[in-house]
Structure 1
């Protein structure tokens, strides 16, 4: 199972649309995970209409229309991998400990908000992933997103992709 993991798209505030590189990944993915800050209901509808399967949450910049359609926290089991998705996890310091306590029944936690790519593992084994943003890099050098594979009940092949960069993705956290 191939995953595309994105967050903080901020459409149409930061970009008119997702980059073509991301749309190509949507077409390849079995599941698209979006960790909030869509900012526009049309963005949700377009992605939901194109993705085979979508798991998403609302973020702090998402208004009432998006909050009515999306949960604050999403939980899915993907071929044995227990996935949780939330927009905000608080400060970087102590994140693994806090999230392991908040999500004791998850194997992987996808989050957003900071626009900073993140891949770490808590002492409990919880894997924490933030894809950055494909449209609003803020102080980061690149717009980014993640892809991963689920196989035999484990998450693997986690890759951070830089938008428009030749040379391919880099592995993170493995």
Structure 2
């Protein structure tokens, strides 16, 4: 599952319970995340929810394993030479977890928006259905919302 979906539905659900049981705690949590969200939006203009939690190879981890000829090919073509092989370790990987507090708030806002547009029952059905059909990529979830509910959230994930 994409992290925006996992955390968005979790924070959205949490907000329903926390607001009813501990409204002050809910407000404090939300305000703290909103401050970070506002800061990121002001500075960057976007959250990149779709890339949240994505794992990629660190820049340079591939290139350093290439021969000088392979490095030249990589630099000129933006990709590795055909038939190149690599050894990748956990130290070569990087996970996109920047701006987490802001992303929690952004994913909460997305689910709040979905609730407003779909209604509580349809949103619960969509979440339940999605959880039953794992694994699932962002693109699949976006397309399903477009097709079934005529909602486009693609811009919310940028």
Q: Structure with the greater relative contact order (CA < 8 A, sep ≥ 6): 1 or 2?
A: 2
Query: What TM-score results when the alignment is normalised by the length of structure 2?
Result: 0.28
User: Which of 1 and 2 has greater Rg?
Assistant: 2
More strand by share: 1
In terms of fraction of residues, the more helix-rich structure is 2
